[in-house]
C-alpha cells in the first residue's frame, strides 16, 4: 500500500551515509521519513531533482547579524534570506551587535527579533567577557556556546563589543573557569592583543595606511601565541574550545596535537584563508580586510592538508555585512575600514568547486559545511545529516554546470561589499533550500511567507527522543 507524506523528492543524488545514493527522499511533518529507491511513498507535493545533489542543509558556525541596532547593515530577514540562498539552514550567531547578548534579557530580545524574521533556524552564542555572573543564566537560556575576544573593544565600537572581551590573562582565566562550570564550548577569537597593538602603533607612526599594513599589524605569531595559551588553559580546566577563523597552519598543527591528546579542541577556518592570499587579495583593498588577515600564499597552501586530516572541523563564513561607505574609507587608510565581509552566498560554491577540482572529497565538503558542526555542538543527528528521523533540512545543488558569481544578485544587504569572488566561475549553485520540511528558497526566489519560519535552537531543551531531539 502506498503511503502519503508531505513531500517526495525523486531522482536525486542523495548524500546519505557518507556517499551518494540515487533515489527518493520523503519528508513528513518537518522530518525525513524515507530515503530509498522504491515507489511505496507518494508525496502531496512531488519534485524531480533531475539528478542534482541533495545535501544536508548547511550549518554556519560563524555569523554576524547586527540587529536590533545598525539595521542599515542588514536585518535577520535580509541576512537569513542570503543564508538560505547559500544553502544554509542553520546559523550560529556571534555576539557583536549593539548590545551583544551577554545577559539573558538581551539574548531574549535578539531571539524575539530573529524569530519574527528568520527564514532558517538559528542559535546564538552568548557573549563571554568580564560579566561572568550571567554565564549560568545564558546557558539555561539555551545558547549554543560562548564566544570571547582577547582584546579590548575596538575604538569607536564599545557598544558592539560590550561584554564580549576577556582582555587580559586574568580575565581570560577567570572567564574560562566560569564557562567550564556551564559545560558549554567556548569559541575564541584567538589573536594576541598586545602584539597587535604594538605592531599597529609602529606601522601607523611610520605612516603606513596601505592594505599590506593591516596584515603586518596582525602577524601569524599573534594568532599562534594566543592559540597556544588557550589550549593550555583549556587543558587545565578541561573545557571544550572552538577556535574561530583559524588562519595559520602553525595554529592548526598545535590544534592537531591537542586533539591527538584527547583534548576537546575544535577548529573553524573560513573561505578567505583557503581561497585567497595576500597577493591575490591585494587589489581588493579594504574589501579583503579581515581579522585575522588573509595570509601569504604559503600559509594558504599549507592550510589544505589540515582539512584533509580532520584538524579543521568546519568552515564558517564569518558573514558580516557592512556598508559600502564603511569599506570605502579603507582606501585612504586601511585601519579606518571595518574588518569582515559577506560570505553566505559563496561558502558552499567555493567548497563544491574544490570538490570538482579534486582538492577535497564530497564527503569532506559535507563534513565541513554541515555534519561536524552539528556533532561538535550536540545537534547531531537532528541536524547536519540526511537520516530518517532527522529534521528535513536539505538543499538541492547543481554541480553539473558552473555559474558566474554576480554579487548584484546576492540577497545579503551587504552585496555592495561582496567583491572577492566576483566574476569567478564556480560550481554548486543552490537551487532549493528546505528548512524543516518547507522550501524557503527556490531558484532565486524566497518563499513569501518564509520569514519567521526559522526557529531558535534552544540547546537547554535538547532531549533525546529516540534518535532525535526535540527543541
Ligand atoms: Zn567573526
Note the pLDDT tens digit of each residue in 421-435. Answer: 999 999 999 999 999
Same domain, 330 and 443: no
pLDDT for the residue 465:
41
Ligand 1 center–CA 316 separation, angstroms: 9
pLDDT for the residue 463:
52
Cα–Cα distance between 335 and 331 in angstroms, integer? 9
Ranges of beta strands (E only) in 312-461 are: 314-315, 319-320, 394-398, 403-404, 425-426, 429-435, 438-442, 445-446
Same domain, 26 and 124: no
- Which among 43, 33, 32 has a CA at the least distance from the CA of 10? 43
Q: What are phi and psi of 387, to 5 degrees?
A: -145, 145
User: Regarding beta strands 88-93 and 121-127, do their DSSP bridges make them parallel or antiparallel, or are they unpaired?
Assistant: parallel
- Helix (H) or strand (E) run with residue 53 in it: strand 53-56
| pLDDT one-digit tens code per residue, 258-306 | 999 999 999 999 999 999 999 999 999 999 999 999 999 999 999 999 9
Same domain, 162 and 100: yes
Surface-to-core class of residue 470, CB atoms within 10 Å of its CB (0-12 exposed, 13-18 middle, 19+ buried): exposed
User: Regarding beta strands 445-446 and 438-442, do their DSSP bridges make them parallel or antiparallel, or are they unpaired?
Assistant: antiparallel
Ligand 1 center–CA 80 separation, angstroms: 16
| Structural domain contains residue 446 | yes
| pLDDT one-digit tens code per residue, 112-159 | 999 999 999 999 999 999 889 999 999 999 999 999 999 887 777 777
pLDDT surpassing 60 at residue 417? yes
347, 376, 405: which is the final residue of a domain? 376
| Structural domain contains residue 382 | no
Ligand 1 center–CA 445 separation, angstroms: 28
Average pLDDT over residues 28-42: 92
Same domain, 191 and 296: yes
Same domain, 50 and 120: no
Ligand 1 center–CA 188 separation, angstroms: 10
Ligand 1 center–CA 64 separation, angstroms: 6
| DSSP character string of 6-40 | EEEEEEEEEEETTEEEEEEEEEETTEEEEEESSS-
User: Helix (H) and strand (E) counts for the chain?
Assistant: 16, 22
| pLDDT one-digit tens code per residue, 356-390 | 999 999 999 999 999 999 999 999 999 999 999 99
- Which among 48, 120, 128 has a CA at the least distance from the CA of 84? 120
- Helix (H) or strand (E) run with residue 91 in it: strand 88-93
| Structural domain contains residue 68 | yes
Angle at CA 258, nearest 5°, toward 252 and 260? 105
Ligand 1 center–CA 63 separation, angstroms: 6
Name the DSSP class of 351: H
Task: Tell me the CATH number at 167.
Answer: 3.20.20.140
The pocket of ion ligand 1, defined by CB under 5 A, consists of: 318
Same domain, 372 and 277: yes
| Structural domain contains residue 272 | yes
pLDDT surpassing 60 at residue 212? yes
346, 376, 406: which is the final residue of a domain? 376
Cα–Cα distance between 466 and 184 in angstroms, integer? 23
Task: Tell me the CATH number at 415.
Answer: 2.30.40.10
| Confidence tier at 468 by pLDDT (50, 70, 90) | very low
pLDDT for the residue 70:
87
* HSE-CB for 71 with a 13 A CA cutoff: 9
Range of the structural domain that residue 403 is part of: 3-54+389-470
pLDDT surpassing 90 at residue 317? yes
pLDDT for the residue 14:
98
* Structural domain count, the chain: 2
| Confidence tier at 461 by pLDDT (50, 70, 90) | confident
| Structural domain contains residue 381 | no
Ligand 1 center–CA 96 separation, angstroms: 8
Same domain, 310 and 200: yes
Cα–Cα distance between 75 and 90 in angstroms, integer? 16
Q: What are phi and psi of 289, to 5 degrees?
A: -85, 120
| DSSP character string of 257-323 | HHHHTT--EEEEE-HHHHH--HHHHGGGGGGG--SSPP--HHHHHHHHHHHHTT---EE---EE---
| Structural domain contains residue 129 | yes
Cα–Cα distance between 22 and 167 in angstroms, integer? 52
Ligand 1 center–CA 100 separation, angstroms: 13
Same domain, 329 and 444: no
pLDDT for the residue 97:
81
| pLDDT one-digit tens code per residue, 42-68 | 999 999 999 999 999 999 999 999 888
Same domain, 181 and 101: yes
Same domain, 170 and 82: yes
461 vs 284 pLDDT, higher one: 284
pLDDT surpassing 70 at residue 466? no
pLDDT for the residue 467:
41
Same domain, 77 and 168: yes
Ligand 1 center–CA 357 separation, angstroms: 28
Q: What are phi and psi of 450, to 5 degrees?
A: -75, -25
Ligand 1 center–CA 4 separation, angstroms: 44
pLDDT for the residue 1:
65
Angle at CA 380, nearest 5°, toward 84 and 245? 60
Same domain, 342 and 409: no
pLDDT for the residue 268:
98
Amino acid at each position: 500500500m502506498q503511503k502519503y507524506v508531505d513531500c517526495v523528492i525523486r531522482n536525486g543524488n542523495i548524500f546519505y551515509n557518507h556517499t551518494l545514493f540515487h533515489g527518493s527522499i520523503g519528508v513528513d511533518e518537518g522530518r525525513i521519513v524515507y530515503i530509498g529507491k522504491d515507489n511505496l511513498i507518494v508525496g502531496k507535493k512531488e519534485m524531480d531533482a533531475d539528478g542534482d545533489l541533495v545535501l544536508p542543509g548547511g550549518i554556519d558556525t560563524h555569523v554576524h547579524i547586527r540587529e536590533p541596532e545598525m539595521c542599515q547593515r542588514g536585518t535577520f530577514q535580509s541576512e537569513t534570506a542570503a543564508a538560505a540562498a547559500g544553502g544554509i539552514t542553520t546559523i550560529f550567531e556571534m555576539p557583536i551587535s549593539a548590545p551583544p547578548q551577554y545577559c539573558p534579557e538581551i539574548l531574549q530580545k535578539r531571539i524575539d527579533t530573529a524569530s519574527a524574521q528568520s527564514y532558517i533556524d538559528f542559535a546564538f552564542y552568548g557573549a563571554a567577557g568580564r560579566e561572568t555572573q550571567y554565564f549560568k543564566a545564558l546557558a539555561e537560556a539555551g545558547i549554543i556556546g560562548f564566544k570571547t575576544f582577547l582584546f579590548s573593544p575596538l575604538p569607536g565600537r564599545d557598544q558592539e563589543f560590550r561584554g564580549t572581551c576577556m582582555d587580559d590573562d586574568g580575565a581570560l582565566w577567570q572567564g574560562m573557569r566560569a564557562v567550564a562550570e556551564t559545560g558549554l564550548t567556548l569559541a575564541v577569537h584567538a589573536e594576541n592583543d598586545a602584539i597587535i597593538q604594538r605592531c599597529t602603533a609602529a606601522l601607523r607612526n611610520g605612516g603606513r595606511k596601505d592594505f599590506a599594513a593591516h596584515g603586518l599589524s596582525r602577524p601569524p605569531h599573534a594568532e599562534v601565541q594566543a592559540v597556544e595559551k588557550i589550549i593550555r588553559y583549556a587543558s587545565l580546566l578541561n573545557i571544550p574550545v572552538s577556535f574561530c577563523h583559524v588562519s595559520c597552519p602553525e595554529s592548526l598543527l598545535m590544534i592537531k596535537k591537542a586533539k591527538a591528546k584527547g583534548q576537546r579542541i575544535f577548529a573553524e577556518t573560513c573561505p578567505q584563508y583557503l581561497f585567497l592570499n595576500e597577493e591575490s587579495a591585494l587589489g581588493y583593498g579594504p574589501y579583503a580586510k579581515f581579522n585575522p588577515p588573509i595570509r601569504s600564499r604559503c600559509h594558504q597552501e599549507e592550510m589544505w592538508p589540515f582539512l584533509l586530516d580532520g584538524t579543521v572541523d568546519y568552515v564558517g563564513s564569518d558573514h558580516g555585512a557592512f556598508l559600502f561607505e564603511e569599506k570605502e574609507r579603507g582606501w585612504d587608510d586601511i585601519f579606518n575600514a571595518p574588518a569582515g565581509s559577506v560570505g553566505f552566498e559563496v561558502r558552499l560554491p567555493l567548497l563544491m568547486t574544490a570538490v570538482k577540482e579534486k582538492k577535497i572529497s564530497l564527503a569532506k565538503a559535507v563534513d565541513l559545511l554541515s555534519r561536524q558542526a552539528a556533532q561538535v555542538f550536540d545537534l547531531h543527528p537532528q541536524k547536519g545529516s540526511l537520516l530518517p528521523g532527522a529534521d528535513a533540512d536539505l538543499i538541492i545543488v547543481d554541480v553539473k554546470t558552473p555559474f558566474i558569481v554576480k554579487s548584484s544578485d546576492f540577497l545579503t544587504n551587504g552585496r555592495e561589499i561582496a567583491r572577492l569572488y566576483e566574476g569567478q566561475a564556480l560550481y554548486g549553485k543552490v537551487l532549493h533550500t528546505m528548512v524543516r520540511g518547507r522550501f524557503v528558497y527556490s531558484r532565486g526566489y524566497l518563499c513569501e511567507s518564509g520569514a519567521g519560519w526559522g526557529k531558535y535552537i534552544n540547546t537547554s531543551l535538547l532531549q533525546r527522543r529516540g534518535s532525535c531531539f526535540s527543541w
